[in-house]
Amino acid sequence: MPIDRFSMTYAVDAPPDEVWAHLTDPQSYVGLSPLVVTVRDVRPVRDDQGREAVRYVAVERFRWGPLRWDNPIRVTMTTPTGRRIVSSVVSPGAVRLDSTVDLAQHGTGTEVTETIEVRSPSLLRGFVTGKARSVQTERAGELTRRMSRA
């Protein structure tokens, strides 16, 4: 299965602890990720390496004109360090996505670097990669807006 990897770095006007608290709350992703309309079944678990994790279902809503499709995705979020958040997504259609967010102090704010690795069947590759890049860009804008001190 093809693998695509891309990264984005941007600054937000809030300290790393505040950004961390926001990004480790699954409910924060409603609206933060433009496709996510609801989060449910949030529960603590252990990941494959025995670390504490949170598992939940996020529902992505896709629209094509008058048509709507709700896509439930299974997310496992781990926090291997105090400045890194890893979310592994299992989506229908054999789509797998891993997002790694690294937070670094940047003046009085935070530098956020999100790296995405997505695996998808060849037939879905263009759509999946294009949508993942678009969502990443919109999520950066929304997080910047939410963390704004102005």
- Give the pTM: 0.91
Of 88, 94, 93, 75, nearest to 115 by C-alpha is 88
Cα–Cα dist 112/99, whole Å: 12
Cα–Cα dist 112/106, whole Å: 9
CATH of domain 3-33+76-146: 3.30.530.20
The per-residue pLDDT for range 91-121, each reduced to its tens digit, is 988 999 999 999 999 999 999 999 999 999 9
Domain ranges of the chain: 3-33+76-146
In which residue are the tokens 């939410």 written?
146
